[in-house]
Amino acid sequence: MDKKQLNLMFDNLLHIGNKTNYWSPRMRDYIYGSVNGIHVINLVKTSEQLELVKKELSALASEGKKILFVATKLQSRDAFVKLAEETGHYYVSEKWVPGLLTNFKTIKRRINTYLQLKRDAENNTFDQLTKKEKAGKLLELEKLDKAFKGLKEMKRVPEVLFVFDTVYETQAVREGNSLGLKVYGVASTNGDDSVVEAIIPANTNATKSSDFIGAELANVLKNIKVKAPVRPATGAKKAPVKKMEEKTAEKKETTKKPAAKKTPAKKTEEK
């Protein structure tokens, strides 16, 4: 195990868990011990899980799959907004809108409304309205901006969901699981590793911790090259004619009318 990596994680407070009376038995394997009534996370396990998640996310991104990062806690917003914008993925940083994934058709219409209001604001279209109408439009735009700012380019439900603090973002995790998405996340000692594909056990209440994890993920997702789809070779042999076509051809031959028999010429009468 790389001691330098462990020291970096220690310096960024990834080892600090929740109080010992506020924990989940599901996280038992990731707990090293406790100090002054607070659980200490095993950073060796954290390092292993972080490398696993980095590997899987980079593999999925190289296949062209989009990731939705959900980090609405104040401590994690900036780090994951930066991560999503640098890597070309989606994010939710202010609040999770119920039904964002499970009722995406309706949400998509709201996103279109948001984009239209934003265009109108940029084109000074609101100046043609009364003060009351303009104030109402600006208030709606501000509300929608908080909810959909990181989803402007999202045309369909993404294939992958990454959640910072799976307990705090329970609704997002449930929606992702109900749709069968690949769900990954960060959880403290009160989390549950059974609700995600892979979990990163770490402190979810410190800005330094979220900044460190966001930077680690950015390092592997920044320069991902999407693999081109495999195309069939140009010199490939043509598929054999289907048996059905052969049968129909045989039927056509058998149904042809037989040629008419020639009538024999009459013998000339003998003189």
Structure tokens at 202: 């770490």
- Whether residue 255 is predicted with pLDDT greater than 60 in this model: the reply is no
Give the model's pLDDT for residue 267. Answer: 44
Instruction: Specify the CATH number for 3-101+157-221; select among 1.10.20.60, 3.40.50.10490, 3.30.1380.20, 1.10.730.10.
Output: 3.40.50.10490
- Rounded to whole angstroms, the Cα distance separating 198 from 183 reads 8
Q: Comparing 270 with 168, which gets the higher pLDDT?
A: 168
- Tell me the DSSP string of 31-62: EEEEETTEEEE-HHHHHHHHHHHHHHHHHHHH
Say which residue, 4 or 126, is predicted with more confidence. Answer: 4
- Domain positions in the chain are 3-101+157-221, 102-154
DSSP 128-185: GS-HHHHHHHHHHHHHHHHHHGGGTT--S--SEEEEESTTTTHHHHHHHHHTT-EEEE
Architecture of domain 102-154: Orthogonal Bundle (1.10)
pTM of the model: 0.81
Cα–Cα distance measured from residue 193 to residue 182, given in angstroms and rounded to the nearest whole number: 13
Q: Which residues contact 138 (CB under 8 A, 6 or more apart)?
A: 121, 126
- Residue 251 pLDDT more than 80? no
Rg (CA), the chain: 32
Give the angle 217-222-224 at the CA atoms, nearest 5°: 105
Q: Give me the phi and psi of 14, to 5 degrees please.
A: -70, -20
Question: How would residue 271 be classed by pLDDT, with cut points 50, 70 and 90?
Answer: very low
Q: Report the C-alpha gap between 240 and 150 in whole angstroms.
A: 50
Cα–Cα distance, 115 to 93 (Å, whole number): 18
Burial class (CB in 10 A: 0-12, 13-18, 19+), 120: middle
Position 153 pLDDT exceeds 70: yes
Query: Is the confidence at residue 257, as pLDDT, over 70?
Result: no
Cβ pair 91, 68 in contact under 8 A: yes
Alpha-carbon gap, residue 184 to 36, rounded angstroms: 30
Per-residue pLDDT tens digits for 172-202: 999 999 999 999 999 999 999 999 999 999 9
The pLDDT value given to residue 25: 93
pLDDT of residue 128: 83
